[in-house]
Chains A and B, each alone.
Chain A
């Protein structure tokens, strides 16, 4: 059972799983998630093991159907694992364990920008004065101050995701979970938001787990990239991104090392994408 083709993938992560010291923020061991469907059990994630170091920007990249969103939902506690374990090193007391930025529109349409950004803090019963301070600060950082009283339907897609970012950062979580937050944005907005995210993150030094299907995005933002295969979701490789910080998105992309890293990742992903396409069944 263990001698499946998945073996090679295990190897690829061996150094990633090597029992790290105190710097390990998240430790995932043999994580498996199955869903029951009409056609029988569907394995979304198959014995995933990896670790995320504290304060790192950790990217998960894979084709659609590789279970990366499921992985994030498991880490957020929105789903229960079928087997295996997720261990998260306890953060400072009083802080939320994680905050998620969702792929879809997730800010409440019935709250204005300010109330949306303040949501996490209010749910935790943070004193009003502190809320005013923190929310004001993050609206400023995301360029939303002028829109504090606007409702989401008055905002563009990019603005809405800025609100989602502000809400997550204002909540000051120990770990930030991001599920393809920019995938629905146009190229210009995406680049702008990536810049903004990097800037805010540089100041916050949070552990980030960021999911994307875009290799470019992964190389631009990440410290480490976990490459996944599809159907079932397994680990293909763990790649270190050598670029220094702080980074400028456009400058980084102009560099030849950037291009060759992207190419390298693409090459190893290509077969996965093709396999996924062949296995795709009409729903």
Chain B
């Protein structure tokens, strides 16, 4: 009896799937390829290490990396370091991104400000942010301040530059509409500049996050006793190669998760672009 019921249900699911048609099938196949290719790579890696083609000291087998991953999770070391790095990232993005957003909007809307600030940005932007780290350590010390400042500086530039470009990209007609319909300064900000620039603002945030991630790792390697960067650097010093790989994996997972979060955010904030 229950078997029959299940079968009916199964049939229903099957029909629903076929109704979606060819696009659904194609999607499933794409997904399969996307999952299979990294798995195949891992299998090749594992085998070549086991048969001794790859040097285990530099390329430990995936299975031993996984067991180290489990160990570091159980000891609490990994989660603590990940949490600390994420917190620094988050605060840095907030501290750097918020003024960058405001500055970008103002620069996009008001030409005199743009003309005045542009050369400053042009002059400071090319400096490799990692080169500022010693200065930041000097100013903020070895504590959280220097790490957060590092991320903040990395996030600031792409967000400010992209926000400015985003506002400038808004067609003049929308400013005319705002003027004709009596939008004040703040209303122009909120109803025209911010939503109009949003697609590029999000691009800036995405770029800023990538730069921030690089910088936080560097900062933690040089001047910290915690965080993922520290964990990787420390693993190199005591030659725990597996832990280095664990650190790399976690960083890449953070990157992927952030990309997912951001595209979800994009769907919410820019429905007029992504719904296309």
Residues on A close to B: CB < 8 A? 76-78, 96, 98-100, 102, 104-106, 108-111, 119-120, 123-124, 151-154, 167, 171
Contact = CB atoms under 8 A, between A and B. Distances in A.
A212 B184 CA distance: 30
Interface of B: 171, 173-174, 176-184, 187, 191-192, 195-196, 198, 270-272, 275-276
> Which of B174, B178, B198 has the most chain A CB within a 10 Å cutoff?
B174
Given A110-B270, A153-B276, A78 B191 contact: no
B174 A120 contact: no
B181 A78 contact: no
A108 B177 contact: yes
27 contacts: A76-B180, A77-B179, A77-B180, A78-B180, A96-B182, A98-B180, A99-B180, A100-B176, A102-B173, A102-B177, A106-B173, A106-B174, A106-B176, A106-B177, A108-B174, A108-B177, A108-B191, A110-B272, A111-B195, A119-B181, A123-B181, A123-B183, A123-B191, A151-B271, A152-B272, A153-B276, A171-B181
Give 8 nearest A-B pairs by CB, closest first.
Answer: A110-B195, A120-B181, A151-B272, A123-B182, A100-B180, A123-B183, A109-B272, A110-B272
A110 B196 CA distance: 7
A119 B174 contact: no
B181 to A, nearest CB: 4
Contacts, number: 62
A151 B198 CA distance: 16
Q: Which of B173, B176, B181, B196 has the most CB of A within 10 A?
A: B181
Contacts of B272: 109-111, 151-153
A102 B181 contact: no
Residue of B180, B183, B271, B272 most packed against chain A (CB within 10 A): B180
Contact of A153 (B176, B177, B275): B275
Given A109-B272, A151-B275, 9 more contacts: A77-B179, A99-B181, A100-B177, A104-B173, A106-B173, A110-B195, A110-B196, A119-B181, A123-B181
A102 B176 contact: yes
Given A78-B176, A106-B173, A151-B271, A120 B182 contact: yes
Contacts of B177: 100, 102, 106, 108, 119
A123 B191 CA distance: 10
A7 to B, nearest CB: 35
Nearest to B194: A110
A88 to B, nearest CB: 14
A72 to B, nearest CB: 10
Contacts of B181: 96, 99, 119-120, 123, 167, 171
A124 B182 contact: yes
Nearest to B174: A108
Nearest to B175: A78
Nearest to B195: A110
A151 B174 CA distance: 16
Nearest to A73: B176
Contacts of A153: 272, 275-276
A98 B179 CA distance: 11
Contacts of B271: 151
A87 B192 CA distance: 30
